Amino acid sequence: MTINQSLVKNMFQNYDRQLVNGRKLSRLSRYLRDPQGEDPHSTSREKKRRAMVERVAREIVENLITADTQNQIVKEIKAELRRETDEDLIFHYPPTGEDMKVLKPGADGPEELSMQEKDIILRKLWEITLDKVNETML
């Protein structure tokens, strides 16, 4: 029995969309709980802006960096990270729902970074994304 490749591709795309939506819902529920216990009406304009910048940056890092997107901001972020690390890194969420994997090109194909390397790369990615979002937001 043969399986139509387009059906398999559609199934994986739907599954990937469900994982992304699950992450968004989880993040939204954490945001609604407001762990700091602050009154949302008492925050300053700058604090609100910083929270918005962080929320947009989180969305970019968690969803758009791993997607094959044509978004100009994402392209600029990836190019800046490539300049800083001298490597063309691959960001990927495995279908099993694990944390993001960071891969680098190797002799036998992509190789996963160690936890220390991954932490350093993700910290740089977060800083670059925050700076880029902050300078592009009004």
Q: Is the pLDDT of residue 37 over 70?
A: no
Separation between Cα atoms, residue 76 and residue 97, nearest integer Å: 27
- Three-class secondary structure of residue 104 per DSSP: strand
Q: How many helices (H) and strands (E) does the chain have?
A: 4, 3
Q: Is the pLDDT of residue 124 over 90?
A: yes
Q: Is the pLDDT of residue 137 over 60?
A: yes
The residue assigned the tokens 């968004």 is 24
- Three-class secondary structure of residue 107 per DSSP: coil
Q: What is the pLDDT of residues 78-99, one digit of tens each?
A: 899 999 988 888 888 877 777 8
**Is this model's pTM higher than 0.85 or not?**
no
Q: Is the pLDDT of residue 36 over 70?
A: no
Tokens of 78: 């990836």
Could you state, in order of their start, the residue ranges of all structural domains in the chain? 45-136
